[in-house]
A and B are shown apart, each in its own frame.
Chain A
Amino acid sequence: MDMEIALILGQDGITNGAIYALLALALVLVFAVTRVIFIQQGEFVAYGALTLAMMQGGTVPATVWLLLVMGVLVTALDGSAALRAGQVRRAAAVAGWNLVYPLALLAVLAGLPVNELPLAVQVLLTLGVVVPLGPMMYRLMYQPIASAPVLILLIVSVALHITMVGLGLLFFGAEGQRTPAFSDASFDLGPLMISGQTLWVLAVSSLLIVALYQFFERTLYGKALRATAINRVGARLMGISPTLAGKLTFFLAAFIGALSGVLIAPITTIYYDTGFLIALKGFVAAIIGGLASYPVAALGALIVGLLEAFASFWASAYKEVIVFTLIIPVLLWRSLNSRHVEEEE
């Protein structure tokens, strides 16, 4: 191994690490605010990538039907509750977001020649289809059991993960997809050849991390989420709605997932079940951060990415083993170094 190979591996590791970092941040966020272990994170990655690929293939992405079905369910639940309470305006708002919006999106996707639109518009439409699935999922599956023990929330997550993988096979078929790169540019930096897509991944992830930081530090909603994460009951007493916090968290997590998918679809082939393994590596990073610390989780993600790249050079047959074994010393170190707190039930 010489310097050149080390540099190329380093670049590869950092690119993958950037995606793992985004997913790790989302996992930490969701767990901190709602105590849900967000196993479905990976499916949002796959849904994002494959929805974009379907649009580019000139078909109406099947995910929009899922959006519509979930929208109808949410409208039926929330709209009828609002009507019974006599809040007509609220019922109208619920129907607007959950019924009219998916229908409008469907009309746009079916009516316009989507595969001829510029890539940026396609990406926006993809996010427009996939991201609202997050808050709707929270409303339908998690909100009714928001105060259940972590274990039950985890079981629901596993069920949703399996359901989403199954639906993914139905929507997108068994075969993988690749989308064209955002830019075909490539730059020579000494021995390194850096592709435009790599720069896109790095730029978007750093931008998103900075934006998330600003969101949590500067905005009221961000502070509300942080307050909920620190003390759920206390935040509620201060008038922060746990429902709103949950929906917002899932919105962010779905956004991060779908965006990651869109970013990596030109780099690798995405299958309906690819997301799980990617998210699992994000999960290893999140564990390194103790499912609590954002900076440590992001750092962990970079370590996972680099470890993966170098392991694939030295011992390719054991790459996965090496990456996932990392979790054992980390857990050991964590359990020796931190005070054990029983979860209050």
Chain B
Amino acid sequence: MKLRNTLLAAIGLAFAATAAHAELKVGVVLSATGPAASLGIPEKNSIALLPTTIGGESVSYIVLDDASDTTTAVKNARKLVDEEKVDVIIGSTTSPASLAMIDVAAETQTPMISMAASARIVSPMDDKKRWIFKTPQNDLQMASAIIAHMTANKVKKVSFIGFANAYGEGWYEQFKKQADAQGIEIAANERFNPADTSVTGQALKLMSAKPDAIFIAGSGTPAALPQKALRERGYKGPIYQTHGVANNDFLRICGKDCEGTLLPVGPLQMARSLPDSNPVKASALVYVEKYEAAHGEGSISSFGGYAWDAGVLLQAAVPTALKAAKPGTPEFRAELRNALEGVKEAAGATGIYTMSAEDHLGLDERSRVMIEIRNGEWSLLK
């Protein structure tokens, strides 16, 4: 792993050296290798699609890999600020890494746009987090979509199983808060590890509570394991998943056991099938077409969209900041932060961003839709 890091750092440096004369410098930290690689790779691909001039200023992107490791992410962020003198940081892929990078960004007064999901990255707002913005929907928005769907379908009793890590815990917190408010009972609460090879025990426990529905809070292909175990044990009721599973590898691994799975996703995932009245459709399609032209039909994932939207925010904010200061100075970074906070109705691939001093995410209910897996494909619920 060490060797891999060194190599990647070397590649990153080589990349940096060729781009040394550009005016606006954007530092990117993402997880192109390691457990979060399936999220980080589309992000990396999307960074490559971002415009090379904004507001008449040329832009260079310096991409470093953190190997899904928190310590490396912090080291990379520091390197970007100290050695590369970047004006803004985009990153990182995972929530733990992004949370850890907040200190670096705040200390060096560099605006940072995270591509990770946790709400704690930008709230509660404080002196440090005023430098931090993020593009993916909060669990809050996604959980509210699930709760709304459950209430509409008269689900009264739910069994919950989540990752035994921050992802699962975070979801449980959000979900429980909203379920309690809606009078939905959580009958069983179980955990499993992404690396587990069997979840039979948990599946039995979930089913023995006789729930109306089961909610699995996991991300990526590991979230298929409980679903397969439940179906194998004869569970016939509805299963909800989170948007963390919305990639095609999940469909491939889960196969026919995932028919009928319900989940909330960002509109990007469904861009083509959205009705024209959907406000995000046009801006999402811009990204979809660009990405698919470079990486092939059906290669799109919401994670790449988060990186793209970091670019959208920059395109909305940088021209304003350029009027007040020159890139490469502390004044410019402060102006850029103010401009990011003032972004209004910026249409990205994930949703429409309207920032404020209190809200550094800026997304509303336009940033998610409920979908179902039907015939091995994602399809929009009407």
Contact = CB atoms under 8 A, between A and B. Distances in A.
A264 B197 contact: yes
B249 A175 contact: yes
Interface stretch (A4-12, A105-113, A330-338): A4-12
Contact of A169 (B33, B190, B234, B253): B33
Interface string B1-37: 1011000000000000000000000000000010101
B225 interface: yes
A154 B3 CA distance: 19
A116 interface: no
A176 B199 contact: no
Contacts of A177: 253
B198 A175 contact: no
A317 B3 CA distance: 34
A16 B197 CA distance: 9
Contacts of A195: 232
A309 B204 CA distance: 11
Interface string B188-228: 00111101111111101100100000000000011011000
Interface string A1-44: 00001001100100110000000000000000000000000000
A312 B164 contact: no
A308 B197 CA distance: 11
A234 interface: no
A231 interface: no
Contacts of A310: 201
Contacts of B198: 12, 15-16, 267-268, 308-309, 312
Interface string A300-316: 00000000111111101
Main DSSP-derived SS at the B contact region: helix
B41 interface: yes
A147 interface: no
B204 A8 contact: yes
Contact of A12 (B192, B193, B201): B201
Contacts of A8: 200, 204, 233
A166 interface: yes
Given A169-B37, A274-B197, A312 B225 contact: no
A309 B191 contact: no
Nearest to A166: B4
A311 B201 contact: yes
Tell me if A's interface is mostly helix, strand, loop or mixed: helix
A191 to B, nearest CB: 11
B380 to A, nearest CB: 25
A178 interface: yes
Contacts of A277: 195, 197
A236 B97 CA distance: 54
Given A166-B4, A320-B193, A309 B200 contact: yes
A274 to B, nearest CB: 6
Contact of B201 (A165, A175, A313, A320): A313
A312 B204 CA distance: 10
Contact of A313 (B35, B164, B204): B204
Contacts of A131: none
B283 interface: no
Contacts of A16: 197-198
A77 to B, nearest CB: 23
Interface residues of A, number: 37
A319 interface: yes
Contacts of B205: 313, 316
Contacts of B164: 316-317, 320
Contact of B197 (A268, A311, A316): A268
A5 B224 contact: no
A319 B3 CA distance: 33
A269 interface: yes
A9 B197 contact: no
Contacts of B72: none
A5 B221 contact: no
Given A269-B253, A312-B192, A320-B193, A9 B201 contact: yes
Nearest to A175: B249
Interface in A62-79: none
A100 interface: no
Closest 6 CB pairs of A and B: A312-B201, A313-B201, A174-B37, A317-B191, A12-B200, A268-B197
Interface of B: 1, 3-4, 33, 35, 37-38, 41, 161, 164, 190-193, 195-202, 204-205, 208, 221-222, 224-225, 232-234, 249, 253, 255
Given A176-B249, A274-B195, 8 more contacts: A5-B204, A8-B233, A175-B38, A269-B221, A316-B161, A316-B190, A316-B205, A319-B192
